[in-house]
Structure 1
Amino acid sequence: MRAMRFGRFGGPEVLEEADVPDPSAGPGETLVQVEAAGVNFGDIKQIAGEHTDGPYAPQGPLPRIPGMEVVGRTKAGQRVLGYVPQGGYAAKTVVADRHLVALPPGMGAGEALAVLVQGLTAWHLLRSVARIRPGESVVVHAAAGGTGSLLVQLAREFGAGRIIATASSDEKRAFALELGADAAIDGDAAGYRERVLDANHGHPVDIVLDAIGGPVLDAALDTLGYLGRLVTYGVSSRQTASAIAPSRLAVDSITAAGFWVIPLIVRNGAGGAELAELLDLTARHRLRPLVGAEYDLARARDAHEDLLGRRTKGKLILRP
């Protein structure tokens, strides 16, 4: 079968197309004929060797096939969505039954893939970590991206009072406004505090959701009001933020938290009430997952380069 794999750690250039044997399903597993595979920053970290240790790291020797999420069909013909720790960038993959869910009729592959890793991330950022309350102000960084675009919509669904989106271009900011943001601003660190406060009518904000890190994360702390919450869930800038002084958090009663969805999926399984809610909202068109570019499986390098270069909007998918 066709697959994209890497035999050494590095950037997108280490991905190579290969013809590999079909995988075999064991007890509690299902073989899935892959219709489409999702592309995530986690895949980039995987091939870079950044997730080589710990209980959630991909297992086995190199070469490995990356990819964490797939849409496809079982041998019985059922169309499914599934999470895999690795192996998604292939024509076939094996999915643990606890990580497999049936798809609503007519749902697009890109829509379904968008609500798995990225959708569950957005749901838990707002509900489990930031614990959003009705009427609160929410700042969403990289709001035109896969997770950011879902955060804007879910924040509205969950009762946010004011949603401020940040994005790197006029086009992306306009798109964030279409999704339901009340304001959209440049997310650059320089002048960040002034732009956010101005967008919130001069008031500090309640919640900031950050996947950029570095100076942007530092600047975001200065925009939070009393009992404000800053949640970091990625470092797309690959820049280090300054250490957060406990005294600063205490004086303003600020919470700084982190979140990574993979351990939660591994512990609880992908199929659950949260994913069911996301699929239902999508099927009823109350949630509009943004499907970005589609690439042939052999162009996985291009997909990774585009994602790293911040040239994308929404969910990127590979077609084997």
Structure 2
Amino acid sequence: MRAVQITRFGGPEVLDVVDLPDPTPGAGQTLHEVSAVGVNYADTHQVENSYLAAQTLPLVPGAEFVGTPVGGGQRVVGLLDGGGYAERVAAVDRLSWAVPDGVTDEQALAVVLQGTTAWHLLRTSAHLAAGETVVVVAGAGGVGSLAVQLAKRWGAGRVIATASSAEKRELTQTLGADATVDPALAEGDPKTFTAALREANGGKPVDVVLEMTGGPVFDGALSALAPFGRLVAYGMAARTPPSPVQAPALMQKSRAVIGFWLAHCMAAPEMLDVAMGELLPMVAAGELQPISGGRYPLTAVREAHQDILSRRTTGKLSLDPSR
């Protein structure tokens, strides 16, 4: 089968399309013909070996797929512990879900990783309450575009999205954002970003921030929190850590910083079942709109990574193993 393999760490240039043997499914696994593969910002960290878990070479990236069992059967979307950038995958049955006929491959891919992340960020980590103000950093991205919609659906009083271009900020407003802020304001002085977030909330501090950038964006967003506000960190796209957070500073303002990594939900599949059981029917009914960021041939995987790193993309990116 064709697959994308890396044998050295680095940037997009280390992604090579090669021929590899088909994976051998173990107990509780099924071998699938892959019709679409998801591309995530986390994949760029994996290729650099800068992700939360250390990587071992050689490796085939890819954390989610849509496909059918070899020999025929129900189309499913599933999560993987790597190996997704390939024509075939051996997937754990417990981490695969049937895709309704009215849901496209790209929509299913958006839901299974970014959608479940957005679901748990708001419900499990932030415990969003009706009427609260939610800031969604990178609101035009895969997670952010779904989080904006879910926050509005679940009763947020106001949703503020950040995005790096006027076009992306406009997109977030079509998805339901009440106001937008340019995250570049944080680069000069995080206090400027703090002020912009509060201004977008009518001069008041905010209740919840979903943050995946790090660095000064994290710093400015944390300062924008109201008492009992929660910042949920789930990424470090800027590759720059935020300023150290001290317990006395949190106590002084009754603020919370919460970390989230979907891998812990994969170890408790029932947490994914409840999210997928709600998200897939919403997509099928047209009540949740995943944004497609582009379907690239498997042979253009380097271009896909370059585009996501340069912030040229919106929504969910995918690879087509047939091309």
Common topology (TM > 0.5): yes
User: What pairs with 1:62-77 in structure 2 (closer than 5 Å)?
Assistant: 62-74=57-69, 75-77=71-73
Aligned equivalents of 2:156 and 2:271: distance in 1?
26
Partner Cα distance (2:108, 2:304) in 1: 18
Letter aligned with residue 169 of structure 2: R
Q: Flag the 1:52–1:234 CA change in 2: closer, same or farther, 3 A.
A: closer
Give the AA of the match of 1:48.
E
Does the CA-based 8 Å contact 1:100-1:270 persist in structure 2?
no
Secondary structure, counterpart of 1:88 in structure 2: coil
Distance 1:162 1:51, change over 3 A: closer
Corresponding residue of 2:114: 118
Distance 1:62 1:251, change over 3 A: closer
1:126-179 superposed Cα distances (whole Å, 9 cap, x missing partner): 000110000000001000000010110010111100000110010000000000
> Could you tell me which amino acid in structure 2 is paired with residue 309 of structure 1?
S
CA RMSD of aligned residues (A): 1.4
Q: Residue deviations 1:101-149, cap 9 Å, x none?
A: 1110131111000011111110010000110000000001000000010
Q: Which residue of 1 aligns with 2:288?
A: 287
SS of 2:228's equivalent in the other structure is: strand
Q: 1:260-299 alignment to 2 at 5 Å?
A: 260-268=261-269, 272-299=273-300
Q: How does 1:189-208 map to 2 (within 5 A)?
A: 189=186, 190=189, 191-208=192-209
Distance 1:99-1:270 versus aligned 2 partners, 3 A rule: farther
User: What per-residue deviation string (whole Å, max 9, x for no partner) do you get for residues 33-74 of structure 1?
Assistant: 000000012212222123485xxx66xx63221101000111
Could you tell me whether the CA contact under 8 Å between 1:98 and 1:269 is conserved in 2? no
List runs of 5+ in structure 2 lacking aligned partners. Answer: none
CA distance in 1, matches of 2:284, 2:125: 26
How is 1:43-54 mapped onto 2 (pairs within 5 angstroms)?
A: 43-51=43-51, 53=53
User: More displaced, 94-103 or 260-269?
Assistant: 260-269
Map of 1:36 onto structure 2: 36
CA deviation digits over 1:9-45, x for unaligned, max 9? 1111111010111222222111110000000122122
CA contact (8 A) 2:125 2:232 kept: yes
Tell me if the contact between 1:98 and 1:271 (Cα under 8 Å) persists in the aligned partners.
Answer: no
Partner of 2:245: 244
After TM superposition, the score normalised by the length of structure 1 is: 0.95
- The separation in 2 between residues aligned to 1:150 and 1:43, in whole angstroms, is 19
Number of the residue aligned with 1:176: 172
Runs of 4+ more than 4 Å apart: none
TM-score by length of 2: 0.94
Name the % identity: 47
Equivalence for 1:23: 23
User: Residue 67 of structure 1 contacts residue 86 of structure 1 at CA under 8 Å; is this kept in 2?
Assistant: yes
Q: 8 Å contact 1:162–1:182 — kept in the other structure? A: yes
Alignment correspondent of 2:160: 164
The residue type paired with residue 182 of structure 2 is D
